[in-house]
Amino acid sequence: MLTTPSSLDQRFGLSRRVVLPGPLRLDGGALLAPVEIAYETYGSLAPGGGNAMLVCHALTGDQHVASAHPRTGKPGWWQRMVGPGKPIDTDRFFVICANVLGSCMGSSGPASIDPVTGRPYGMSFPVITIRDMVRAQALLLDHLGVGQLAAVVGGSMGGMQALSWAATFPERVAACLMIASTARHSAQNIAFHEVGRQAVMADPNWRGGDYYDGDPPAAGLAVARMAAHITYLSEAGLTEKFGRRLQAREQKSFGFDADFQVESYLRHQGLAFTDRFDANSYLYITRALDYFDLAEEHGGLLANAFRGTATRFCLVSFDTDWLYPTSESRAVVHALMAGGAAASFVELSSPYGHDAFLLESPELDRVVSGFLGTGR
Amino acid sequence: MLTTPSSLDQRFGLSRRVVLPGPLRLDGGALLAPVEIAYETYGSLAPGGGNAMLVCHALTGDQHVASAHPRTGKPGWWQRMVGPGKPIDTDRFFVICANVLGSCMGSSGPASIDPVTGRPYGMSFPVITIRDMVRAQALLLDHLGVGQLAAVVGGSMGGMQALSWAATFPERVAACLMIASTARHSAQNIAFHEVGRQAVMADPNWRGGDYYDGDPPAAGLAVARMAAHITYLSEAGLTEKFGRRLQAREQKSFGFDADFQVESYLRHQGLAFTDRFDANSYLYITRALDYFDLAEEHGGLLANAFRGTATRFCLVSFDTDWLYPTSESRAVVHALMAGGAAASFVELSSPYGHDAFLLESPELDRVVSGFLGTGR
C-alpha cells in the first residue's frame, strides 16, 4: 500500500495513526496485538519509494519532528533540521517519524486500552526493548509501502534505534546517522534512570501504575525529569546559563523557595513535563534504554552486529556530552570498522552537553547535509 | 575550661554532648539558643593546648570519625585516617569531631526540640550556612579550652568548613587541609541538591517537615540519596564495580525489579540511609552547601578571604571527582596565592570519584602525614 500525502499533510505534517493487527512478538516473549502507531510524514514518497527517510525520536520525544506539538503548541523538536531546504530536506525526502512503542503520543503504550480487559494496560503492558520499537517501525514501513530507507537518523535514544535498525534490518537501511548516542547503556546511565523510576514509584498516586482514572503521579515524575534533565546539560553549560545567579528578588531567602535560577528552571522543567508525558511510559522507555546493549544481542561482540553490512554509517558526538560521551561513539566506530562497514565519525565542540544535538549547530547541519547528500 | 578525656574515652571515642546557652547569631539573621553540640574526641589535649585538631565531616557524616557509629555499628567514617600512628595521629593530636549544626546526630537541628514550643523545630529551624556550622564549632572549642587549632581538616563539606574556618577565624587556625572540596557550589551542584529536596518534599509523609510523630518521608529521602550517591562515584568506578552485570538470577526480568546490580546497589544505599538520617536535616544541610560561596562573603573576591593570613594550606583533589573537580581546588589555590598565603596543592589519581577521599589511598595518607608532620 502506497501512501501519497495530500498537500495539506505536507504542509502541516498532520498526525496519522494506524492500527496494525499484529501480533508483534517482543524481545521479552510477549505478543502485542493490536499494534497502534502514531506517526507523521513530511514530503512525498517518490514513485520508486527510494526517498524514504526515518527519523527516530528520543526518550521524551514524539512524532512531531517538524510540526507543532498538538498539546504544547511548540514547534517540532527538530524543526531546524527537518523541512524544505533543510539538512533533512523534505523537498527531496519523504520523512517519516513515528511515536515509539511504549510512549504516550498515540502509539501502543501502558496508557493504551488493553483489548482483553477494556481498561488501560498500566503495568500489564509488556516490557519493550529498543529493537521492539524498531520492529514496530518496520511494520509501519510495510504499511506505508516503504521497502528500503534511504537513511535512518536519530539522536540520543533515536540514535540507538538508528543503530538497531542497521543491525536488525541491514537490507532495509542504505545509510545510518547516529548522533549523541551509544550502543549500550552504561552503569551510570542505568543509575540515573533507576533514580527516576524510584521517584515515580514512590509517588502514592502511582498506585502500581493503575492511576488513569485518578490523579497521575506528577510529583514523582517531575523529580524524575529534574534528575534526568541535569544529565542533558553540561556543567559548563549550566554555569554559563545560570551560574549561582539568584532569582529576581536578588536576595537569598534563607528558606526553601527557589532562590537560585537553576532551581527555578529545574522545577519548571519537571512540572511542564508532567503536562505532556505519561509516568508509566517514562518507566517503560527508560527500561528499554537500560536494557539496550547491541553487543549482547550479537553474541557479546558489537562488530558481529554489522559484519558484511552494505549500510553506510555516520556518527556524531559532542565533546561536552557526559550522558553518551564521545568514547561511546568511538566504541561503535571501532566495531563498525572491525565489521568491515563504511563509517565516518566526527566529534563536534559545543558547550551544551547532550542537548547540543537539538540546538542550533551549523557544524552539525554541515555533517548531516554532507552525509545525506543534501548540501548545496 | 580544660577537658582531659579518660583513657576509656580515648579508646572508644565516647560521644559527648554539650548544651551551650548561646545565643548564636546566624548568617540568616536568626538567633539560635540553646546551641547543642554532639562531639567526639580522641587523644589527649596537651597542657599548652597546642595539639588540638578539628576534623570536619561531610554532608551525611557525623562525629564518629574514628569510632563505631552507635546506630549502625559500622567503623568510624575515617577510621583508616584517624587513630594512633595514623596520618591524623591521635598519639600526638587531640582530635575533635563535632556533628554539624543542622544535622541529626545530637547537635541542634530541625529534629531538636524548640524550647519555645516544646516540640521539634521542623521547618521552623533557622536556615544555616557553612559559616554558621563553623561558628558553632568555635563555641565548642571555647568550651573545651582550645584556643588555636594545630590544624582543621576535612573532605567534601568538611573541606568547606575547613576553608571557612581559615577565612572566619584565621588566628585560630595554624594549618588548613581541604580535600575533594570547593569554595562555592556550582549550578550543577545546586541542581542535584534541588532534585533531592524536591524528592523529599514530594513525599506526602514529609507534611511540611512536621512528621516527627508519624512516619518519616523515607521514600523521598531514599530517592534523594540515590541521586546524590551517583555524584559521589565516577562513571569509570561505576563501570568497574557494576558495569551492566545482572543480579544473581542472571536473566533480565522484563519487569521493573532491580535487574542490574547497580540498581540494587542504589536502592540499598537509598533505603539504608533513611535508617540513619533525618529528612529535614538533609534539606537544611544541602541548603547550607548550596548557599556556600566563600568569595561572596568577601566582596566577591576569594583572595580577600585569605589576605595576609598566617595559616598554612594544603589542598587535595581527585582526578575523577566530578562533584568537586580539580578545577575548583585550583581556583582556591589561585586565590590563596593572590592573597599571599602559603599553599600546596596536589591532584591525586583514583578511579573512585568523589568518594576517593574516604577510601584506602596510600597517596592521600602520605600527603596528610607530610602536611601534618606525622610522617615516620
Confidence of residue A307 (pLDDT cuts 50, 70, 90): very high
Backbone angles phi, psi at B206, to 5 degrees: -65, -40
Annotated binding residues of B for substrate, written as ranges, equal 225, 355
Which residues does chain A have within 8 Å of residue B270's beta carbon, measured at their own beta carbons? 198
At position B221, the amino acid (one-letter code) is L
Please judge whether A191 and B262 are an interchain contact, meaning their C-beta atoms are less than 8 angstroms apart: yes
- Which residues are B318's β-sheet partners? B348
The chain A residue lying nearest B217, using CA atoms, is A202
Q: Give chain A's radius of gyration (CA, Å).
A: 20
Nearest to A262 among B190, B202, B233 (CB): B190
Q: What is the mean pLDDT of residues B260-276?
A: 95
Confidence of residue B345 (pLDDT cuts 50, 70, 90): very high
Interface of B with A in 40-69 (CB under 8 A): none
Please judge whether B195 and A123 are an interchain contact, meaning their C-beta atoms are less than 8 angstroms apart: no
Nearest to A186 among B191, B226, B235 (CB): B235
The verdict on whether B321 is a catalytic residue reads yes
pLDDT of residue A200: 98
Which carries the bigger pLDDT value, residue B5 or residue A212?
A212
Please judge whether B266 and A127 are an interchain contact, meaning their C-beta atoms are less than 8 angstroms apart: no
CB B148 within 8 A of CB B172: yes
Among B128, B190, B292, B297, the strongest candidate for a mutation testing the A interface, having the largest count of A CBs within 10 A, is: B190
Positions of A annotated as catalytic residues are 156, 321, 354
- Inform me whether the C-beta atom of residue A262 falls under 8 Å from chain B C-beta atoms: yes
Annotated binding residues of A, written as ranges, equal 225, 355
CB A183 within 8 A of CB A331: yes
CB B329 within 8 A of CB B313: no
- Inform me whether the C-beta atom of residue A111 falls under 8 Å from chain B C-beta atoms: no
CA–CA min distance A252, chain B (Å): 8
| pLDDT, tens only, B183-203 | 999 999 999 999 999 999 999
Cis upstream peptide for A75 (omega within 30°): no
- Report ipTM for this prediction: 0.93
pLDDT of residue A14: 47
Cβ-Cβ contacts under 8 Å for B47 (sequence gap 6 or more): none
DSSP label of A37: E
Which carries the bigger pLDDT value, residue A182 or residue A70?
A182
| pLDDT, tens only, B88-120 | 999 999 999 999 999 999 999 999 999 999 999
Query: Where would I find the H helices in B126-278?
Result: 130-144, 157-168, 187-202, 218-232, 235-241, 261-276
pLDDT of residue A11: 37
In this structure, of A190-194, A266-270, B23-27, B371-375, the range with the lowest mean pLDDT score is: B371-375
- Inform me whether the C-beta atom of residue A197 falls under 8 Å from chain B C-beta atoms: yes
CA–CA min distance A191, chain B (Å): 6
CA–CA min distance B273, chain A (Å): 15
Structural domains present in chain B: 7-185+293-372 (3.40.50.1820), 189-286 (1.10.1740.110)
Cβ-Cβ contacts under 8 Å for A304 (sequence gap 6 or more): A295, A298, A339
Q: Determine which helix (DSSP H) or strand (DSSP E) holds A280, and give its type and residue range.
A: helix A279-291
Confidence of residue B15 (pLDDT cuts 50, 70, 90): low
- Inform me whether the C-beta atom of residue B357 falls under 8 Å from chain A C-beta atoms: no
Cβ-Cβ contacts under 8 Å for A188 (sequence gap 6 or more): B230, B233, B235, B238, B239
Residue A284 scores a pLDDT above 80: yes
Nearest to B194 among A219, A263, A291 (CB): A263
Residue B206 scores a pLDDT above 60: yes
DSSP label of B280: H
Give B125's Cβ-side CA count (13 Å radius): 32
pLDDT of residue A4: 38
CB B321 within 8 A of CB B310: no
The verdict on whether B89 is a catalytic residue reads no
Which residues does chain B have within 8 Å of residue A239's beta carbon, measured at their own beta carbons? 186-188
Nearest to B191 among A256, A266, A283 (CB): A266
Beta strand A94-98 pairing with A35-42 = antiparallel
Cβ-Cβ contacts under 8 Å for B66 (sequence gap 6 or more): B13, B40, B42, B76, B78, B79, B81, B82, B83, B90, B95, B97
| pLDDT, tens only, B219-243 | 999 999 999 999 999 999 999 999 9
Please judge whether A191 and B263 are an interchain contact, meaning their C-beta atoms are less than 8 angstroms apart: yes
Confidence of residue B22 (pLDDT cuts 50, 70, 90): confident
Confidence of residue B13 (pLDDT cuts 50, 70, 90): very low
- d(Cα B227, Cα A140) in Å, to the nearest integer? 38
Interface of A with B in 114-173 (CB under 8 A): 123, 126-127
Q: Which of B57, B185, B193, B354 is catalytic?
A: B354
- Inform me whether the C-beta atom of residue B227 falls under 8 Å from chain A C-beta atoms: yes
Confidence of residue A39 (pLDDT cuts 50, 70, 90): very high
- Inform me whether the C-beta atom of residue A208 falls under 8 Å from chain B C-beta atoms: no
- d(Cα A247, Cα A268) in Å, to the nearest integer? 13
- d(Cα B38, Cα B143) in Å, to the nearest integer? 12
Cell numbers 518507566 correspond to A283
| pLDDT, tens only, B123-162 | 999 999 999 999 999 999 999 999 999 999 999 999 999 9
Query: How many Cβ pairs within 8 Å bridge chains A and B?
Result: 155
pLDDT of residue B4: 38
The chain A residue lying nearest B205, using CA atoms, is A204
- d(Cα A50, Cα A310) in Å, to the nearest integer? 16
CB A160 within 8 A of CB A285: no
